[in-house]
């Protein structure tokens, strides 16, 4: 039964992988006043207890979103709202090596099957709660996964059958099924190398 | 906004120090360069860099002489091999001419091997370790150099087209020949601003302070204004 389940997960992940695109996103710093009022009102209790607060406006192919990045109780969070003040998601930066969850093995098996080599650069838990404040308070206490939780990974990897390393953003659900894959257009750093 | 303020403050500070140094009669050079990169198949890429250095002033018997003289012309070629995790191995060759428009310019052939790795997200730290073997008409020199550089977009947490970024770095260079009294240490500290165009090209302006032959009786310093245009084919 486990083998069948793994095969189903793998198959559905490959299906999503084949449909992936390239991530184009423009992000700019904005001042607090430029952030949507309703979102600010919802975030206020959290902002009062947080440090390193930064506000951003993001423009991508789907429209404009607003994001606040902050440090709360020693952890780094990104909280994103759409332009209609709806909370889109909340992400918490984690260590891929240290964080263990049931889906990790499935995700690793998937990446092993797809890439010759890969290196995880960034790992975030992503959630879509009712409110940012609610999420912030339960995320640090969370031991196991919650329904609706996703995992987002940024990695450098080489696809099987290819030689060129690329940067990917992968989004998995809480059972390790790939929901989305995007190639990240990497910033060329030649100006810092020569 | 804090990023913008920080970037401009650092650049202004360096300009202020540069102007102070000017009054103390430190030689001054302008160094425009063109860097052309091309991704090859797989993990390989190549880069060619053309550097032209013009000297504008020097000290002569405690007097600042203002003049304009071509100092160095260099052509650099690099072959890069990308390793996962933002690491690169690079092999390079340089051909340079000192005083290129004089009747008998001094030539140099240089072989280079370097390892670079990058860390950080918003603030990208690039560490570069380079070995050089320098061949010229009358001597052979080795040089080991380590440089760390960081850049940060002045708006947002990642650099997007049509945005400015701040860049700064420090490099230590140790020249050794095996002959007593000829080895020397050098430090280069620099900061500046860059701009990313829509087409992925970058232009970067930096002020660099070179402390030459540190810890020696022939210690000296120089200011370099670097203007580099980076393009990828």
Strand locations in chain A (E):
21-23, 25-30, 51-60, 63-72, 75-82, 87-94, 115-127, 150-159, 166-173, 178-184
CB B58 within 8 A of CB B52: no
Per-residue pLDDT, A14: 46
Mean pLDDT check: name the lowest of A35-44, B89-98, B145-154, B197-206.
A35-44
Of A56, A156, A157, the CB nearest to B157: A56
Of A69, A121, A191, the CB nearest to B194: A191
CA distances from A138 to A16, A70, A146, B65 (A): 30, 16, 10, 70
Confidence of residue B159 (pLDDT cuts 50, 70, 90): confident
Is the CB of residue A194 less than 8 Å away from at least one CB of chain B?
Answer: yes
How far is residue A52's CA from residue A126's CA, in Å, rounded to a whole number? 20
The pTM of the full predicted model, rounded to 2 decimals, is: 0.75
Cα dihedral: A69, A71, A77, A83 (round 10): -30
Per-residue pLDDT, B36: 93
How far is residue A157's CA from residue B224's CA, in Å, rounded to a whole number? 39
Q: A191, B85: Cβ pair inside 8 Å?
A: no
Distance from CA of A8 to the nearest CA of B (A): 30
pLDDT at A11 over 60: no
Residues 6+ apart with CB under 8 A from B164: B4, B7, B153, B154, B155, B193, B194, B195
Of A156, A187, A190, the CB nearest to B159: A187
Collect all residues of chain A within an 8 Å Cβ-Cβ radius of residue B118.
Answer: 189, 192
* Smallest CA–CA distance from B146 into chain A, residue: A193
Collect all residues of chain A within an 8 Å Cβ-Cβ radius of residue B121.
Answer: 122
Of B78, B84, B161, the CB nearest to A119: B84
Per-residue pLDDT, B108: 92
Q: Give the torsion sign (CA, B135, B141, B142, B146).
A: negative
Three-state SS at A152: strand
Question: What radius of gyration, in Å, describes the C-alpha atoms of chain A?
Answer: 18
Q: Across residues B27-45, what is the average pLDDT?
A: 88
Per-residue pLDDT, B213: 86
Confidence of residue A186 (pLDDT cuts 50, 70, 90): low
pLDDT at A62 over 80: no
Select the more confidently predicted residue: B20 or A63.
A63
How far is residue A8's CA from residue A95's CA, in Å, rounded to a whole number? 28
Distance from CA of B89 to the nearest CA of A (A): 11
Distance from CA of A164 to the nearest CA of B (A): 4
What is the percentage of chain B residues whose pLDDT exceeds 70? 82
The mean pLDDT value of chain A amounts to 79
Residues 6+ apart with CB under 8 A from B76: A194, B47, B48, B49, B50, B51, B92, B93, B94, B112
Per-residue pLDDT, B226: 92
Q: A194, B85: Cβ pair inside 8 Å?
A: no
Q: A194, B49: Cβ pair inside 8 Å?
A: yes
Per-residue pLDDT, A9: 45
Select the more confidently predicted residue: A10 or B201.
B201
Nearest to A142 by CA among A105, A101, A108: A101
> Which residue is associated with the tokens 């202004």?
B12
Collect all residues of chain A within an 8 Å Cβ-Cβ radius of residue B155.
Answer: 28-29
Confidence of residue A59 (pLDDT cuts 50, 70, 90): confident
* Smallest CA–CA distance from B194 into chain A, residue: A191
ipTM of the complex: 0.71
Domains along chain A? Answer: 2-190 (3.10.450.360)
């Amino acid at each position: 039964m486990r083998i069948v389940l793994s095969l189903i997960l793998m198959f559905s992940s490959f299906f999503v992988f084949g449909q992936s695109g390239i991530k184009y996103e423009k992000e700019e710093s904005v001042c607090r006043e430029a952030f949507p009022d309703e979102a600010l009102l919802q975030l206020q209790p959290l902002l009062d207890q947080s440090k390193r607060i930064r506000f951003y406006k993001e423009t991508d192919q789907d429209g404009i979103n607003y994001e606040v990045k902050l440090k709360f109780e020693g952890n780094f969070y990104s909280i994103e709202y759409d332009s209609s003040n709806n909370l889109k998601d909340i992400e918490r930066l984690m260590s891929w090596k240290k964080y263990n969850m049931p889906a990790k093995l499935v995700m690793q098996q998937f990446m092993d099957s797809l890439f010759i080599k890969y290196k995880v650069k960034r790992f975030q838990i992503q959630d879509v709660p009712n409110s940012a404040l609610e999420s912030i308070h339960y995320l640090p206490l969370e031991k196991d996964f919650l329904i609706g939780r996703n995992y987002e990974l940024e990695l450098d990897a080489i696809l099987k059958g290819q030689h060129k390393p690329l940067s990917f953003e992968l989004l998995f659900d809480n059972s390790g099924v790939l929901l989305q894959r995007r190639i990240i257009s990497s910033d060329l750093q030649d100006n810092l190398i020569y | 906004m804090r990023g913008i303020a920080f970037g401009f403050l650092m650049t202004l500070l360096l300009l202020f120090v540069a102007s102070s140094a000017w009054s103390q009669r430190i030689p001054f050079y302008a160094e425009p360069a063109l860097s052309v990169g091309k991704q090859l198949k797989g993990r390989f890429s190549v880069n060619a860099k053309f550097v032209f250095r013009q000297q504008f002033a020097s000290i002569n018997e405690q007097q600042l002489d203002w003049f304009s003289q071509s100092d160095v012309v260099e052509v650099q070629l690099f072959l890069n091999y990308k390793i996962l995790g933002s690491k690169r191995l690079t092999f390079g060759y340089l051909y340079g001419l000192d005083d290129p428009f004089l009747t008998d310019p001094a030539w140099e052939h240089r072989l280079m091997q370097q390892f670079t790795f990058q860390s950080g997200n918003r603030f990208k730290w690039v560490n570069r370790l380079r070995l050089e073997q320098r061949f010229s008409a009358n001597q052979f020199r080795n040089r080991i150099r380590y440089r760390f550089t960081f850049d940060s977009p002045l708006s947002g947490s990642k650099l997007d087209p049509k945005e400015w970024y701040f860049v700064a770095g420090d490099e230590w260079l140790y020249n050794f020949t095996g002959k007593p009294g000829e080895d020397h240490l050098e430090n280069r500290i620099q900061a500046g601003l860059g701009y990313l165009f829509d087409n992925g090209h970058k232009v970067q302006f930096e002020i660099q302070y070179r402390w030459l032959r540190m810890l020696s009786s022939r210690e000296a310093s120089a200011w370099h204004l670097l203007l580099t245009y980076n393009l990828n084919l």
